[in-house]
Amino acid sequence: MYKKRGLLIVLSGPSGVGKGTVRKELFSQPNTNYEYSVSMTTRSPREGEVDGVDYFFKSREEFEALIEQDKLLEYAEYVGNYYGTPLDYVESTLEAGRDVFLEIEVIGAAQVRKLVPEGLFIFLAPPSLTALEKRLIGRGTETSEVIQSRVNKAREELEMMNLYDYVVENDEVQNACDRINAIVTAEHCRRERVEKRYIQML
């Protein structure tokens, strides 16, 4: 019997582009039925962040043990901290036929693309580099040196846009959410994703 597998949705883009803000808005909407895969990180929690909700906060030693055990779908070291995605949760949720939503860094997305090429890869882009810099300064959580390193990194990351299926500009958060939902709906109707069901029916 045909069993529909869930869709792995990867939202990525430069640091400071608003990935977390867009993801939170998507998941606050009543009609959203994606499963959010909480990432792991070794960075300290920001104010208001909750362990197991925003991230799984781990020590460097704990994180490196998981790397050794091949328990991460992807991971990257970014501005001195590790970020990664727990593998077991993602695989079991997809097998159960539910869509998994990942919000990850660009380096991590490139790793996932190699392991799960059938995933849906969406690049969240800033309206401009100036807008990105203003957003980072507005956070008030990083020094000017860290902000500059993130802006420089964002330039490199924008050049990796060719690894993605779709680009969504984050001009307004709600607009970005609407575009992402439209893309996911279209992908579920893609011929390659549905034809097995019809072949079996015939």
What are the strands of the beta sheet with 81-86, ordered from one edge? 56-57, 40-41, 81-86, 72-78
Q: What is the share, in percent, of the chain residues with pLDDT greater than 90?
A: 50
pLDDT at 187: 94
Q: Which residues of 30-67 are buried (b: 16+ CB within 10 A; e: fewer)?
A: eeeebbbbbbbbbeeeeeeeeeeebbebbeeeebeebe
Report the alpha-carbon distance of residue 114 to residue 24 in Å, rounded: 27
Residue 55 lies in a domain: yes
With CA atoms as reference, report the closest residue to 23 among 136, 104, 130, 94: 104
CA atoms within 13 A on the CB side of 23: 25
CATH no. for residue 28?
A: 3.40.50.300
DSSP 134-153: HHHHHH--S-HHHHHHHHHH
Residue 165 lies in a domain: yes
The answer to whether residue 136 scores a pLDDT higher than 80 is no
Predicted confidence band of residue 35 (pLDDT cuts 50, 70, 90) = very high
Residue 64 belongs to domain spanning: 8-201
Q: How many domains is the chain partitioned into structurally?
A: 1
Q: Which residue has the higher pLDDT, 76 or 61?
A: 61
Residues belonging to the binding site for ATP are: 13-20
Q: Which residue has the higher pLDDT, 7 or 144?
A: 7
Residue 180 lies in a domain: yes
pLDDT at 140: 67
Residue 42 lies in a domain: yes
- 73-82, 145-154, 182-191: which has the minimum mean pLDDT? 145-154
Residue 68 lies in a domain: yes
Residue 121 lies in a domain: yes
Residues belonging to the binding site are: 13-20
Residue 146 lies in a domain: yes
Query: pLDDT for 157-192, tens place per residue?
Result: 888 899 999 999 999 999 999 999 999 999 999 998
Identify the residue whose tokens are 């994180």.
Answer: 63
Residue 2 lies in a domain: no
